[in-house]
Chain A
Amino acid sequence: MQTTLIPNVPPGSLDLLAGDVTRRRRVQRTWFMLAEALGYQEVIPPTFEYEEVFTRSGGPELAARLIRFVDRDGRLVALRADFTSAIARMVATRLADHPGPLRLSYAGKVYRQAPEAVGLRREIFQLGAELIGDPSPEADVEALRLVVGVMRELGVGEFQINLGDIRFIRPLLHGLPPDQALALRTAIDRKDRAALAAGAREFGAPAAVARALVELPELIGRGGVLKRARSLASGSEAEDAIERLRQVDALLSDDERRHVVYDLGEIRGLGYYSGIQFEVFVAGVGRAVGYGGRYDGLLAQYGADRPAVGFALETDALADLLRGDES
């Protein structure tokens, strides 16, 4: 009998064996030990959901990267592309009556379309937590503290959390037609000062807004940056952003603050962030190993308006960092 062998896996899919598995499991075990000790309960959202769960929440960037297929009844479903969106949907529908606050943790795969490039997989292991029902700066700090905690437990000593607040940038783009807002967002994202200055001029931005836009790429640093940002803040929303970051700063221990850099010019976050947002960097890794922030409006999209803050870390990147320990 003749059989045809299946020679390979699709691009972006991977078999994990031996050390690649043990290191990922070690990261996950470390994470769940820490999360459980702090009162976080594990949840496992479904592997696929109706695509709206991700298209409505995550913005066009995430929508463009969904892996979709048609369900039996003709509706479009997508593989889980983001834990936070799935958990927000889960909490707003299944746990709507829970008095809160809710502390939830997870670890598993997300699936995203990726262009063929260096190290871009279509299945990515992530881990993370969501703290739902607490709008306070203490809750923001609890999320940051979990990140610091798991990095320490894993023995990653040198890492950096770049922390900003989307409410500082949002008013600068307020009221612009979509194409102009997109042009400025692109310039902010690329830290292109010349394009920001040109855009502000061309779109007739008020002087205070133009000044803040051009300064955005440079608004990075330790506590002193908050003072400079405060002097550039236009309007109460931006002032609230700086006030919240000051409160967070005051709640951090010296040892935690060592890892935090304030970064007001970053708009990388997924579309649903509404307050603080952050990215985590480790020396020698060419991209962020984690991201998080506050997403107060997200649960309302599923019918339960509750504040929330959370983060996701890239388990694959953390596992690769452990390779050094073993040799």
Chain B
Amino acid sequence: MSRPLRIALPKGRMMDEALLLFERMGAAIDPAARDTRRLILPSADGRFEFLPVKSGDVPVYVEAGVADAGVAGLDVLEEHGPDVLRPLDLGFGPCRLAVAGPADAAYPRLAGGGIPRVATKYVESARRYFAGRGVQVELVRISGSVELAPLLGLSDWIVDLVQTGRTLAENGLVVLDDISSSTARLIVNRASHKLRLDDHQRLIADLAKALEG
């Protein structure tokens, strides 16, 4: 048998959901490797090697071809724009990208004019969204605790992922506008898809079947 397909998975809840799906198609993680500190986790049936990485890094590994395929949220794909195949919507990990701000925030224009400041991790997606609506903003790229930005006066609004809205509410923020909704996608390296066609077609078909079941 050829070497296992290497699958990059985003650490966290989305990885657990992805592994459940692989388990349903008979490719659970090898029990010997579970709960170890190994960086590459083989599946018990030998078909796959799972590579847990940070969610934003999944497209990087797959585009470069060091992982044959991966699981990434649509939000991450829209932000990074990697040149990869996206054959399947896996349906889990639903969230939406939204503009949020204090409940009394002026939107989409500031009271009395002025250029609004927007703090976000999703700079590209935010830039595209506001440009598409003809709203000029100043984007501030930060990498965590985005909800703090309006409270401390760093920005007027934020653009961030919203799952339940609880974190927003705890910080006195509300959704002002929806940008897009997202679910997890299977992504595949273009060259690997050509060179290992049978393996990839089987993976896509098996995942599609596991999703139905």
Contacts and interface: CB of A to CB of B under 8 A. Distances in A.
Contacts of B86: 190-192
Of B60, B86, B194, most A-chain CB atoms within 10 Å: B194
B88 A194 contact: yes
Interface in A223-265: 261, 263
A287 B195 contact: no
Interface size, B (range):
20 to 34
Interface in B173-193: 188-193
Interface size, A (range):
20 to 34
A190 B195 CA distance: 16
A218 B201 contact: yes
Contacts of A217: 87
Contacts of B63: 117-118, 286
Contact of A285 (B85, B87, B191): B191
A81 interface: no
B89 A286 contact: no
A247 to B, nearest CB: 23
A283 B68 CA distance: 12
A284 B195 CA distance: 9
B65 interface: yes
Given A192-B86, A281-B191, A286 B197 contact: no
Contacts of B88: 192, 194
Given A286-B66, A287-B191, A288-B191, A117 B89 contact: no
Interface in A135-168: 160, 162
B169 interface: no
Interface string A264-286: 00000000000000010101111
B57 to A, nearest CB: 11
Contact of A192 (B81, B87, B189): B87
Given A119-B64, A286-B63, A286-B64, A281 B194 contact: yes
Nearest to B83: A287
A220 interface: yes
Interface in B190-212: 190-195, 197, 201
Given A118-B60, A190-B86, A218-B201, A286 B193 contact: no
Nearest to B59: A117
A195 to B, nearest CB: 8
Contacts of A119: 64
Given A117-B63, A118-B64, A286 B85 contact: no
A160 B190 CA distance: 13
A261 B197 CA distance: 10
Contact of B195 (A118, A160, A218): A160
Contact of B197 (A190, A221, A279, A283): A221
Contacts of A279: 194
Nearest to B77: A190
A288 B197 contact: no
A287 B87 contact: no
Nearest to A285: B191
A286 B194 contact: no
A244 B85 CA distance: 28
Contacts of A191: 85-87, 188, 193
A193 interface: yes
6 contacts: A117-B63, A160-B194, A191-B86, A192-B87, A285-B65, A286-B191
Interface of B: 60, 63-66, 81, 83-89, 188-195, 197, 201
Interface of A: 115, 117-119, 160, 162, 190-194, 217-218, 220-221, 261, 263, 279, 281, 283-288
Top 10 nearest A-B pairs (CB, nearest first) are A286-B65, A190-B86, A118-B64, A191-B85, A191-B87, A281-B194, A281-B191, A286-B64, A286-B191, A162-B194
